[in-house]
Amino acid sequence: MVARATYDLAAARRIYLQVFGMVRNDRSRAYKAGCMAGILRELDVAYRIVPYVCGTAQGDAWHYGFAEGRNRARWHKSRVRRMT
């Protein structure tokens, strides 16, 4: 049996800060909110509904951010598994 790592809000915040450090501040608020929601969802910390209307620029940005957040969190989880 493989031990499952448990994650909390602090772990999600660390991943978020790795994505949006000093270099990538040029993204919209909707994109960043989606990214954080994707990280939280992938780490099973929380689940949020889409706060924007689908098909709008903000809705699209949120969805793309959500996808990036989930991908970053998956990458982080795979690294943690390899180290243990």
In the chain, where are the structural domains located? 27-83
Would the pTM of this model clear 0.95, i.e. be above it?
A: no
For residue 84, is pLDDT > 60?
no
Provide the residue type at 84 as one letter.
T
Give the model's pLDDT for residue 31: 94
In this structure, what token pair is assigned to residue 36? 């954080």
Q: What tens digit of pLDDT does each residue of 10-66 get?
A: 889 998 988 887 676 778 999 999 999 999 999 988 887 889 999 999 999 999 999
The whole-angstrom separation of Cα 60 and Cα 81 is: 32
Residue entry with tokens 């180290």: 83
Give the confidence band of 3 by pLDDT, cuts at 50, 70, 90: very low
Give the model's pLDDT for residue 2: 44
- In sequence order, which ranges of 1-84 are alpha helices (DSSP H)? 9-19, 29-42, 57-83
